[in-house]
Structure 1
Amino acid sequence: MSAVAAGGSALAGAVATDAWQSARTGVTGLFGRAGQRRADLAEVWTDQTAAEIAAAPAEQQVEVRQRLARVWQQRLADLVEEHPELGEEVRVWAADLRQRLPASESKWVNTFIATDNATQYNAPGGSITVTNHPGERPAS
């Protein structure tokens, strides 16, 4: 889901910007729709994300943001998998957040979209090895 990818990237990009409080409140609210425990976890996770990015040396900031973007993408994907009715809310939140990001923070945000039963492999800032056997589909 492209909203999950965009949301995770935008959230990591929002740290230390004017968009951060809105991003934090929004993602906490999304997780809160799945229960108070999830909202509480999201608050802890957002605080940890901000602290980890702030503590990273300047030369490692992009790497740290990219790694944390992937973490948030997985968290959002898990949320939407468990609660598919939240998919549209995640999409709206991610689109709004991306609009709020300063240009300097949105330049590294990656969005990958695969459609029509396509298989897509992405490794922004990293590497990936793929062995593909035509005709075989990975188990869902």
Structure 2
Amino acid sequence: MDPIVLAAGTALVTAMATDAWQSARDGAVALWRKVRPEQAEVVEAELIEAREQVLEARRDGDVDTEQALAGVWQVRLQQLLRADPSLAGEIQRVLDEVLTPALQPADQERIGSLVMKAKASGRGRVYQAGRDQTIQER
């Protein structure tokens, strides 16, 4: 699954429990309007229903339900991206400008995505790390 989609789906569900919920919902619905406008109203209703589930899960301390909902919206966003790969930039924009700012700092750190690509030819070496890395060559 595309890392942008993973981050956006998680951020969307996390934002459902914030005061910025309406702008998060509007940002998500705008994505559907670009690729599948006939589904936008249904998606909006589903987002509203998902928000109720997130709020209930938070009240009950049910982390599993919130994670499951994030998975559902990640899959849905992945389907949009497959239908229109050029949508990646728009998903990233919504993530950066709408969803992530709606989150608490701890949630923002958890949502961040990291994409690393490398290519080596011949006898070249590539070292990549998401955090600390120690290389000792002999």
TM-score, structure 1 normalization: 0.71
| Match in the other structure for 2:40 | 39
How far the C-alpha of 1:108 sits from its partner, in A, is 4.7
- Aligned residues: percent identity? 30
| Match in the other structure for 1:100 | 102
| Match in the other structure for 1:16 | 17
Task: Find the aligned partners of 1:45 and 1:115 in 2 and give their Cα distance.
Answer: 35
Aligned partners of 1:5 and 1:110 also within 8 Å? no
Task: Find the aligned partners of 1:31 and 1:81 in 2 and give their Cα distance.
Answer: 13
- Is structure 2 residue 77 aligned with structure 1 residue 76? yes
CA deviation string 1:72-94 (max 9, x = no partner): 11110100100112111001111
**Larger Rg belongs to:** 2
Task: Find the aligned partners of 1:81 and 1:116 in 2 and give their Cα distance.
Answer: 23
| Structure 1 gap ranges (5+) | 118-140
Task: Find the aligned partners of 1:10 and 1:52 in 2 and give their Cα distance.
Answer: 15
Number of aligned pairs? 116
Task: Find the aligned partners of 1:68 and 1:112 in 2 and give their Cα distance.
Answer: 22
How far the C-alpha of 1:112 sits from its partner, in A, is 6.0
Task: Find the aligned partners of 2:29 and 2:79 in 1 and give their Cα distance.
Answer: 14
Task: Find the aligned partners of 1:54 and 1:29 in 2 and give their Cα distance.
Answer: 23
Aligned partners of 1:13 and 1:106 also within 8 Å? no
Task: Find the aligned partners of 1:22 and 1:70 in 2 and give their Cα distance.
Answer: 21
| Match in the other structure for 1:58 | 60
| Structure 2 gap ranges (5+) | 120-138
TM-score, structure 2 normalization: 0.72
RMSD (Å), alpha carbons = 2.2
Task: Find the aligned partners of 1:54 and 1:22 in 2 and give their Cα distance.
Answer: 17
